[in-house]
Amino acid sequence: MQWWKKEIFCTSIRLIKTAIQGSFMQVHQVGGLGFDSNIYLIIDEVIALIDAGTGMNFETVKRNLSKFNLTANDVELIINTHCHYDHVGGDRDFVEAAGCEVAIHELEAELLRKGDQIITLAGGLGRRLEPIEVARELHDGDRVKLGELMLEVLHTPGHTQGSISLYEPERKILFSGDTLFYGGVGRTDLPTSDGKALANSLRRLAKLELERLYPGHGPFAEKGARRHVLEALELFG
């Protein structure tokens, strides 16, 4: 069983390149090692990360960024899909490197600002979350323009109360955090988790046109992503 469902973690890192034909914008996976969430790099007019991992593998993440001629200083924005330490622990490294901005749903911004140890699961991982400055609180329906890519913020509670997914309707891309995985869903036995809310969030995602799925852990899908939403919904009957 994998950690986000139970205990253990994926141990390999995959680098992906999603060069979308005729498009400048690129998506790459630059992290996902050990305890880390998947870390997605978006190269567009704004250089952004979706989640930042724990920070425990910062050197590896930097090495992966260097493959695209980027350093940690080039990262301008981190969008956190939710407050868990395996997604936000690495934020500080980037903030300290270049004052990059951190964005997270409004319901979880305060947890980062005050360095919560319980709801973020930092304590459970034997780590300590230092306070993180949140530059932007996100709300359902917000749009985050990165250049060619305009991400819509969907509030998809269930795994945590402030979990978000990020949707790009033109290319049918979904960054789903721990709401939805390739072949599964996030845990709902954690602080602020709510199984019914998760089912409702999945119903909402099922209404979207989806092709590419970039989840918070495990493999991603580059086509036919909607299948994973429908399969996940079956788990709820």
Binding site for Zn ion (CB under 5 A): 4, 37, 84, 86, 178, 216
- Of 162, 159, 208, the C-alpha closest to 187 is 159
Give least dist CB 178 to Zn ion, A. Answer: 4
Give least dist CB 221 to Zn ion, A. Answer: 18
Helix (H) or strand (E) run with residue 187 in it: none
**Tokens at residue 191, please?**
């602080």
Give least dist CB 21 to Zn ion, A. Answer: 31
Indicate the pairing of strand 150-155 with strand 143-145. Answer: antiparallel
Give least dist CB 19 to Zn ion, A. Answer: 27
CB-CB contact of 200 with 159 (8 Å):
no
CB-CB contact of 153 with 144 (8 Å):
yes
Burial 21-42 (b: 16+ CB within 10 A, else e): eeeebbbbbbbbbbbbbbbbbb
Considering the complex, state which of residue 58 and residue 181 has its C-beta at the smaller distance from Zn ion: 181
Give least dist CB 147 to Zn ion, A. Answer: 27
Considering the complex, state which of residue 86 and residue 142 has its C-beta at the smaller distance from Zn ion: 86
Considering the complex, state which of residue 217 and residue 226 has its C-beta at the smaller distance from Zn ion: 217
CA-CA distance, 132 to 141, in Å (whole number)? 24
Considering the complex, state which of residue 43 and residue 129 has its C-beta at the smaller distance from Zn ion: 129
Considering the complex, state which of residue 4 and residue 94 has its C-beta at the smaller distance from Zn ion: 4
The residue length of the chain stands at: 237
Considering the complex, state which of residue 37 and residue 80 has its C-beta at the smaller distance from Zn ion: 37
Considering the complex, state which of residue 25 and residue 215 has its C-beta at the smaller distance from Zn ion: 215
Give least dist CB 172 to Zn ion, A. Answer: 23
Alpha-carbon torsion 148, 152, 158, 163, what sign?
Answer: positive
How many helices (H) and strands (E) in the chain? 6, 14
Question: CA 94, 95, 97, 98: dihedral to nearest 10 degrees?
Answer: 110
Give least dist CB 52 to Zn ion, A. Answer: 12
